[in-house]
Structure 1
Amino acid sequence: MRVLRRTLGTLLVLGSATLSCATAQGVDAKPGDTRARPAAVRAAAAPAPYERLLPAPVSVRAAGAGYRFGAGTVIRTSGSAEEVRRVGELLAEQLRGPSGLPLPVVDGEGGDGVRLRLDEAAPGLGAEGYRLDTRADGITLTARTPAGLFHAGQTLRQLLPVGGPGTVPGGTVTDAPRFAYRGAMIDIARHHFTVEQVKRYVDQLAQYKVNTLHVHLTDDQGWRLESTAWPRLARYGGGSEVGGGPGGHWTKDEYRELVAYAGERYVDVVPEIDMPGHVNAALASYAELNCDGKARERYTGTKVGFSSLCVGKERTYDFVDDVLGEVAELTPGKYLHIGGDEAHATPAADYAAFMDRAQAVVRKYGKTVVAWHQLAAARPAPGAVLQYWGHGGTPAKEKERLAQVAKAGHPLILSPADRLYLDMKYDATTKPGLAWAGYVPVKRSYDWDPGTFLPGVPESAVLGVEAALWTETIGTRAEWEFMAFPRMLGLAELGWSPAASHDWPAYSRRLAAQAPRLDAQRVTYYRAPDVPWA
C-alpha cells in the first residue's frame, strides 16, 4: 500500500464542445516539478456554466431567464430546522468571500434570492441528491436532507463567477450520487500534519461532493492520536516520523474539532488504527506489547511488513479494546478502520485469530468494520467492508477471493493503487512521490469504471471509491496538494456522476474550467499536459 510493497447518455451532453485551435497553451511549472512542461495541448473554448459543473450532474435543463446576484440578494431558509439554517449560513459564508456581497441569511421561503427548501418527499433525490431551479426571481435549492441542500449549494458556487457576483443562467439541475461512499484518505502517520491543514483539505473535498475523510492515524513511524489509557503511544510513539523529524500528535480535543468541522460539511471521518502490523510506534512505546517484553526502537524509515503485535498475549487485546474503544467514542460516524494490510510478520493463522478478536471489539463499540482487502484471507465479520488497494500486478487469486467476499454480502471500497493512490508520481519527472504501482497521470486516474473494475464484482457490491495519499515522501502542504490535485477531482466525479457521463475529452475540459477556482483558493496543483488549461 505504500513504498516497496504492492511489488443517460446523461441528459447533460458534456462531450459536445470542440477544442479551439486558437492559441497553444503553455503549461506552468508547479512546486514539485523538475522542469517546465511544454505546450502540449491547445486551449478549449470556455464551457458554459452548466457544462463546466464537476462532478457532472445527472441532468440539466437550461430554460428561461437567469438570476442576477447583487447587493440585495439574500439566503432564505424555510421551516424550523436548525440544520437548514446552518447550511444557509455556511453557504452565505462561502459565497461572500469571492462575491463581496453581504448575503444575509433570513427565515422564510417567500421572496427573491436563494431559497433553501427541505422536502422529505421530493422524488428521486435520495439521501444526498438535490434539485436546483433558477428563475429570474431567484434560485430554489430543494433536497430531502440537509446534506442534499449542502451539495446543492456547492453546485451553485460553481455556477457563479469565481471572482465576484454574476448571473446564474435559468434552468434546472437534478442530481444524486452514483455511489454512497466517496472518500479521500490522508496519512498523518508517516509525516505529521496538523488539524488545521486537514481542515483545509476537508473544504477542498466537500466543494466537490466528496463525503468521507479516512485518516490513517497510526503506523510504524508514528502514533498520532492521544490515548488516555495508553498515554505513551502519542507522547513517545508520536515523537518520530519518516526522515527523523519531530513528529507530533493530535489531542482528543483536536480530533473532535476535526470531526465536528468535517461533519458540518457533511464529510464523515473514518479513523484508522492499523493492526496487527504497521505497529512499531506502539511496540516502541510499550515493551509489554512485544512477545519478548522488550521495547523496540522508534522507526523513521519506509520499509513495511516487519512489525506485529503479540497475538498470543492477552494483554494485546486489552490494548486493542482500550484503543479502539477510545477512538469509537470520539467518532460519531459508523465506520472504524482496523487496517489489516501487510502483516507479513504475523503468521496466517495468528492473523486470522487476531482479526476475529479485533473485529469483535469494533462491533462491541457499535461500529462497522472496515479493513484493507487482506482481511478476505481471514474471516471477515458480518457486514465488514473491505477496501481494495491492489493494482495490475495483484495476483488473480486475491481478486477472486474478493469476488467471493462480495458475493457473501461484504461491500467493497475501491482504491486501486495504479488509479487512486495519489502518492504515485504523475510521470518520471514528478517530485515528490513513488512509483511502485507505476505512474498515474491524470487521465489514467480518471479513466476507469468502478462498476466493472473487479472481475466477478457487480456494481451493487461497490460501496464507493477512495483516493489515498500516503506521505512517505510528502512533508508539506504544497507537496500534499500537488499530488492530490487535480486527480482528486477525478475521484469526485467517479464517485458521484452517472456512468453514462464518463468521457475523458469532456471531463478534461470541465477539469480545466476549475483552474480559476483552484487558483483563487491558492491550491497547489499539477497542470497536466493533456488537460486544456485555459
Structure 2
Amino acid sequence: MEHRPGRRDEVRTGCATGDNAGPGSWENNEMSETSGPAFGWRGLGLDVSRHFFGVDDVELVIDLMAEMDLNVLHLHLSDDQGWRIEIPGWPELTERSSGSAVGGDPGGYYTLADWSRICEYAGRHGITVVPESDLPGHTTAALHALPGLNPDGRTPDLHTGIEVGFSTLSTDAPLTDRYIDEVLTQLAGLGSGWVHIGGDESKVTPHDQYRALVRRAVDAVHRAGSRVVAWQEAADLLDPGDVIQVWDRGIGWQGVLDAASRGVGVLLSPGDRAYLDMKYDPDTALGLTWAGTIELRDALEWDPRQYIPGLDPAAVVGVEAFLWSETLRTRDDLSYMLLPRLAAFSQVATRGSGIGQWQEFRSAVGRQAQGWAERGLRWHRSAGVDWPD
C-alpha cells in the first residue's frame, strides 16, 4: 500500500494549548515557592501500549493531575504490544497492530477525533499532552504492521509478554527512513511543541545504527518545528533545548551530565521514586518490583535537584511520574497505583523537594482522600495516614 503523509492541518487536532498550559520554556525555570511551582515540567506518563485505556480513563487521569497541579501528560503510544494512535497515510499501524495487549487482552487505539477530545480536555485543565512513539527498540507493533521495516521482509508476531529489548528498527530496511520522517512529523502535528522519541532499551540495535536512527528521529522532530524528549540512553544525541528523561541509575550519569553541559534539559523520572507501577510492598497484587518497592513516604521524601551527583540543579527542568501498564487492566487498577503516591509526587513537583514534609503531608493527604472516596475511586491505604472510612 502506498503511504501518504497527512497534511499538517489534517493532524492538528486540538493539542495546541493555551499560554498557561504545559512546561513552556524550561530554561525559565527559576521559580520560588512564593512565585509558583518549583518546576515548569510537572508530569505524569501513562503507558497505553501494554494495556490500552480509553478516552474516559485518560480523562480521569487528567482530573487527578489537575487536582495536583501537574501540567504535562506524556502518553506512551507505541511499543511491542500495540500501536495506539491513528496516523493518516499509515493505516496498517492501527489496522494490524492495535488489537493486542499484554496477556492477549483486548487492545484499542485513539482515532484523531479521540485524540482531539483528550487534548481539548487536557487543555481546559492547563495540561499539555506529549505523544511518544518509541524507537528504535520497543517496535514490534510497527514491525508487525509494516514488513518493509524489516530487512528480511518478514512479519514478526505481535508480542503479548512483558520482556523487553529484542526488537529494533534497522538502517538496512527499505521503509525505515520514510517511517521515521513521516510518522514523527505527524506526531509533531498532534503534540504541543514536544515529541518523545523513546530511545530506551535498544539492546539488539548495533551501536552505529542506534546513533543513526535516533539522530534521524531528532532531526525529523526538529524539522517539524517541535522539540525532542528522549529516554536516558539517548543523552548524547540531543541538542540544546531538548530534554533527556532519566529513569535508571544503572545506566550511569555521565551521559546526562554531558548533555546538561550542552544545554539539554534534564527531566527526573527515576524508577525507584517515580515509577508508580512499582508495588507498594512485596504483597501488593499489582505492579512490578525491578526498581524495588515504593511506598507513599518513598514517593515523597526525595529531592530531584540532588538526585544525580554533580548535576547543576539549574539543569533540572522538572519531574515526571510514570505509570507503566504491564499489570494494569482497569480504571480501578489505574487509581489504585496512582493514589495516594501521585499526591506525594505532586508535592515534590510543586515544592521542589519532599524531604522533611511527611508529618504535614500525611495529614493533608488524608483529607484529600475524602474526595476520592466521594467519587468512588480505589486507592492504597498506606500506613501512617488517617484515611476516611
TM-score greater than 0.5 by the shorter chain = yes
- Residue 335 of structure 1 deviates from its aligned partner by 1.0
Identity %: 39
Letter in 2 for 1:327: L
Change (3 A) 1:147 1:338: closer
- For residues 413-428 of structure 1, what are the structure 2 equivalents within 5 Å? 413-428=267-282
- Residue 521 of structure 1 deviates from its aligned partner by 2.3
Q: Are 1:497 and 2:356 counterparts? A: no
Q: Look up the match of 1:192.
A: 52
Q: What is the aligned length?
A: 361
Q: Are 1:328 and 2:180 counterparts? A: no
Q: Are 1:344 and 2:203 counterparts? A: yes
Q: 1:310, 1:256 → 2: CA distance?
A: 32
Letter in 1 for 2:120: A
Q: Look up the match of 1:379.
A: 237
Letter in 2 for 1:467: A
Q: 1:367, 1:242 → 2: CA distance?
A: 32
1:484 aligned residue (333, 338, 349): 338
User: Could you tell me whether the CA contact under 8 Å between 1:400 and 1:455 is conserved in 2?
Assistant: no
TM-score (norm: length of structure 1): 0.65
SS at 2:131 equivalent: strand
Q: Are 1:411 and 2:265 counterparts? A: yes
Q: Deviations over 1:227-286 (max 9, x none)?
A: 112101011110111010221111011111101110111100000000001000011111
- For residues 282-361 of structure 1, what are the structure 2 equivalents within 5 Å? 282-331=142-191, 333-361=192-220
User: Could you tell me whether the CA contact under 8 Å between 1:229 and 1:323 is conserved in 2?
Assistant: no
- Residue 499 of structure 1 deviates from its aligned partner by 4.4
Letter in 2 for 1:384: D
User: Could you tell me whether the CA contact under 8 Å between 2:135 and 2:199 is conserved in 1?
Assistant: yes
Q: Look up the match of 2:67.
A: 207
TM-score (norm: length of structure 2): 0.89
Q: Which has the larger radius of gyration?
A: 1
Q: Where does structure 2 lack aligned partners over 5 or more consecutive residues?
A: 1-17, 23-32
SS at 1:222 equivalent: coil
Q: 1:530, 1:246 → 2: CA distance?
A: 38
Q: Which moved more, 1:499-508 or 1:338-347?
A: 499-508
SS at 2:253 equivalent: helix
1:507 aligned residue (345, 361, 364): 361
Change (3 A) 1:240 1:147: closer
**Structure with greater proportional strand content:** 1
- For residues 68-467 of structure 1, what are the structure 2 equivalents within 5 Å? 176-331=36-191, 333-376=192-235, 378-391=236-249, 394-395=250-251, 398-467=252-321
Superposed CA RMSD: 1.8
Q: 2:219, 2:193 → 1: CA distance?
A: 15
- Residue 311 of structure 1 deviates from its aligned partner by 1.8
User: Could you tell me whether the CA contact under 8 Å between 2:347 and 2:354 is conserved in 1?
Assistant: no
User: Could you tell me whether the CA contact under 8 Å between 1:328 and 1:367 is conserved in 2?
Assistant: yes
Q: Deviations over 1:487-515 (max 9, x none)?
A: 11111111112549851121112111212
Q: Deviations over 1:160-182 (max 9, x none)?
A: xxxxxxxxxxxxx9651100000
Q: 1:531, 1:297 → 2: CA distance?
A: 47
- Residue 529 of structure 1 deviates from its aligned partner by 1.0
**Structure with greater proportional helix content:** 2
Q: 1:291, 1:402 → 2: CA distance?
A: 33
User: Could you tell me whether the CA contact under 8 Å between 1:403 and 1:455 is conserved in 2?
Assistant: no
User: Could you tell me whether the CA contact under 8 Å between 1:340 and 1:372 is conserved in 2?
Assistant: yes
Q: Are 1:528 and 2:386 counterparts? A: no
User: Could you tell me whether the CA contact under 8 Å between 1:356 and 1:381 is conserved in 2?
Assistant: no
User: Could you tell me whether the CA contact under 8 Å between 2:130 and 2:196 is conserved in 1?
Assistant: yes
Q: Deviations over 1:336-367 (max 9, x none)?
A: 00000000110111101111111000001111
Q: 2:137, 2:84 → 1: CA distance?
A: 16
